[in-house]
Chain A
Amino acid sequence: MKAILSIILAAALIPVRPATAQGVKEKIQVKARLGYAIGGTAPIGLPATIRSIESFKLTPNFMVGVGGKYRLSEKLGLHAALHYEIKDMDGEITTKGYHMKVKMDEDELEGVYTGHVRQKVRQRMFTIPIQLTCEISRRVQLKAGPYLSLLVDKDFSGYAFDGYLRKNDPTGIKVVMGSKEGEWATYDFSDDMRSCQLGVAVGVDWTLGSQWGLSADLSWGLTGIHHSDFKTVEQTLFPIYGTIGLFYRII
């Protein structure tokens, strides 16, 4: 959170020159954007109990949005936008002795799990980034700042398969998870997901033509995707996505 605060503070401290006769109009730039995100929702620093990433499927992580920049000085500006984003994930991992606790109604299954896990995350959201921009050349502009996302659709579910659980601890009874539906353990923690996410985003806009260009952005969630009192998954999971995009300058 300190990072966000200092960025906001820095933005606020930039001396804003009074609008000249040329008017506010010249200081404003509006861009429409389209992008595709690759990334995931993962703990920062994978625990040793996660042994491998077996598969990582591409999901339709498209982004569309429109944003405006207000020029503060020759190089600096303030950028705000409204994006509709999809930050999905579909991956498979293997674990060795991973501590897990899965609750179904009032019945809880806790233990250490060794085997495969298929994890699906669905996050559809409106995001408002507020960024400080800096033109390092006529064509290249850097952006950095906090963002706020409001989720309109969310899902966090998956299943543990082809493995076994030792109930409670590694000396507990062994329960095998099979490799077909009805023999594996499914879970769904969609209801425990936050509806509101905060994070920081950095990026670069690279103008190629007179109106259009390419962009690359990295957004790093500072809040976990679940409520802080959610303890079923051992590590807090953060959404971290990189977006490659196109922009078109409208104004």
Chain B
Amino acid sequence: MLKYSYILALLALLLTSCIKGEPQNMECDILEAWVDDDRLAEHFAQNADMRIIDVPSSEEQLTFVVRNRSALPAMPINFKLSPGATIFPVGGSLQDFSQGPVTYTVTSEDGQWQRKYTVDFREAVMPGHLYDFEDFELSSDGKYYVWFDMADDGTKNSIWASGNEGFMIAKPNAPSEDYPTVPEANGFDGYCVKLTTRSTGSWGRMFKKPIAAGNLFFGSFDSRFALTNTLKTTNMGIVYTKEPIKVTGYYKYTPGEVFTDKDSKQVTSRTDEPAIYAVLYLNHDEQGNKVMLHGDDVRTSPYIVSQAEVSTLPPTDEWRPFEMTFEASAPIDASLLRDGGYNLALVFSSSKTGDMFEGSVGSTLYIDKVEITFKNEE
């Protein structure tokens, strides 16, 4: 038996004693950023605006919304970073943001990796109310298209988001033209946006997320949950300081031929439909914490105060107008609205139940010339 225990000891040695010292962390992210000086609270419309939480891993621009940027004193920003990472300028140091954004560099614990973030303070700018989808560019890695709203002073407001970033995880080699959300030159006038329901290939099948509907929405995309909880990837809504009455625009739609469910099984009784809807909701709770709606609660949240939906969108090869009118379900506080207390989510999708991975590969929705009408303009 001596030999037996010797062999076992040798094996145990092989398996465990080879565990080496823990390597230092390679990550260098800003996870949260905040201003926590009570004397500075007067510069913010609400306390929730003093803290930016859940920074998506692809985000490199952090923007605090303030009442009046020109009146801003030097601000101390605190950061929560990846474990062991360091930041320069250091967290809590006073920085002057009145002249524009400040760049912070985060270095990983092992010193081998860096990320640069720009932090900015801006007034709650009212995005334009006309969306022509002429302003787009390739993402920083050149893989897919992103849309923005060009402000009068030439700054790009990243108000639009799509699931393209999630599609890239499943189909990293796809050319940018084959993504679900792409620009199309033959719009109603100029460019339009083309939303196509795509197959997500082998990876998508494995994760039981076999299709990706083309979508475009007000908000941001967080790819963290792209393989696990896709409904949480869509941060729907941006601050809107006016009350919307209706949304109009033009569309074309062709449903794909074969409707499939989340197991990729054909459902002969169903034909794909697009979705166009909008939701206005309170962007903070009673305690002042931020509220962001996602794919799972954007139609059902108790914070919703008003919503609109285009009831029917029959297939058409020719541009057709669409219109939807908001119906309020709760009173809207006018002064809170002015102070940025509400978010508006405007959503377009090439497959109405694409968020449940039901739809037809090939369903195509074209959207152009979208206009939001506000209460005081009618």
The answer on a CB contact under 8 Å between B201 and A104 is yes
What residues of B have a CB within 8 angstroms of the CB of A176 in the complex? 224-225, 227-228
Choose one: B7, B203, B225, B226; the contact of A107 (CB below 8 Å). Answer: B203
Q: Among residues 1 to 46 in chain B, which have CB atoms less than 8 Å away from a CB atom of chain A? A: 3-4, 6-8, 10-11, 14-16, 18-23, 25-29
Measured between alpha carbons, how far is A164 from B224 in the docked complex, in Å? 8
Chain B's nearest CB lies how many Å from the CB of A34?
15
Q: Which residue of B lies closest to A218 (CB)?
A: B7
B113 located at the interface, meaning its Cβ lies under 8 Å from any Cβ of chain A in the complex? yes
Closest chain-A Cβ to B59's Cβ sits at a distance in Å of 10
Type the 1/0 row for A84-110, where 1 means its CB is closer than 8 Å to any CB of B: 000000000000110000001111110
Asked, given contacts A52-B19, A182-B207, whether A242 binds B7 with beta carbons under 8 Å apart, the answer is yes
- What class of interface size applies to chain B in its complex with A? 35 or more
Question: Which residue of the partner chain B has the closest CB to A140?
Answer: B3
B207 surroundings in chain A (CB, below 8 A): 182-183, 185
**Cβ-defined partner of A173 (8 Å) among B14, B19, B57:** B57
Q: A88 to chain B: closest CB distance in Å?
A: 15
| Distance (whole angstroms) from the CB of B234 to the closest CB of chain A | 15
Instruction: Note all chain A residues with C-beta closer than 8 A to B8.
Output: 38, 242
Main secondary structure of the interface of A (DSSP, over half): strand
Q: Quick check: is B171 within 8 A (CB to CB) of the other chain? A: yes
Nearest CB in chain B: distance from A140 CB, A: 9
A66: CB under 8 A from chain B?
Answer: no
Among the stretches A25-33, A39-47, A120-128, the one at the interface with B is A39-47
Known contacts A104-B201, A166-B27; A51/B172 CB under 8 A? no
A97 to B29, CA, bound (A): 15
Whether, in the assembled complex, B108 has its beta carbon less than 8 Å from a beta carbon of chain A, the answer is: yes
Residues of A within 8 Å of B229, CB to CB, are 178, 183
| Nearest A residue (CB) for B28 | A171
Say whether B208 faces chain A, with CB atoms less than 8 Å apart: yes
Asked whether A48 is an interface residue with its Cβ less than 8 Å from the other chain, the reply is yes
Shortest Cβ distance from residue B141 to the other chain A in the assembled complex, whole angstroms: 9
A216 within 8 A of B: yes
* CB-based contact B15/A97 at 8 Å: no
**Hey, what's the 0/1 contact readout for B205-232 against A, CB within 8 Å counting as 1?**
0111000000000000001111111000
- Contact indicator B20/A48 (Cβ below 8 Å): yes
Q: What is the 8 Å Cβ interface bit string for chain A, positions 156-184, against chain B (1 contact, 0 not)?
A: 00000000101101111111111000110
Cα–Cα distance between A164 and B26 once the two chains are bound (Å): 13
The A/B interface has a contact count, at CB < 8 Å, of: 118
From A46, A112, A173, A244, contact of B20 by CB (8 A): A46
How far is the CB of A184 from the nearest CB of chain B, in Å?
Answer: 8
* Interchain CB contact under 8 A, A51 and B58: no
Known: A104-B201, A108-B173. A53 touches B15 (CB 8 A): yes
Q: Which residue of B lies closest to A114 (CB)?
A: B27
| Cα separation A166 to B82 with both chains bound (whole Å) | 13
Interface assignment of B170: CB less than 8 Å from any CB of chain A = yes
CB distance from A185 to the nearest CB of B (A): 7
CB-contact partner of B26 in A108, A112, A218, under 8 A: A112
| Cβ contact within 8 Å between A96 and B3 | no
Any B CB within 8 A of the CB of A248: no
Complex contact B18–A51 (CB within 8 A): no
Distance (whole angstroms) from the CB of A139 to the closest CB of chain B: 12
Residues of chain B within 8 A (CB-CB) of A109 are: 169, 172, 203
**Distance in Å from the Cβ of B180 to the closest Cβ of chain A?**
15
The reply on B368 being an interface residue by CB < 8 A is: no
Say yes or no for B299: interface residue by CB 8 A criterion: no
| B209, closest chain A residue (CB) | A182
The A202-240 residues at the B interface (CB cut-off 8 A) are 204, 206, 214, 216, 218, 240
Q: A173-B224, A206-B3 are in contact. List 14 more A-B contacts (CB 8 A).
A: A40-B14, A42-B15, A46-B18, A46-B19, A105-B201, A105-B202, A107-B172, A169-B113, A170-B26, A173-B223, A177-B227, A183-B207, A183-B228, A218-B7
Shortest 10 CB-CB distances between A and B: which pairs? A170-B26, A174-B57, A104-B202, A178-B228, A48-B20, A46-B18, A242-B7, A216-B3, A183-B228, A182-B208
26 of the cross-chain contacts (CB-CB < 8 Å) are: A45-B18, A46-B20, A48-B22, A52-B19, A53-B15, A106-B173, A107-B173, A109-B172, A166-B57, A170-B27, A171-B27, A171-B28, A171-B113, A171-B115, A173-B165, A173-B169, A173-B223, A176-B228, A177-B228, A178-B227, A178-B228, A185-B207, A216-B3, A216-B4, A216-B6, A242-B10
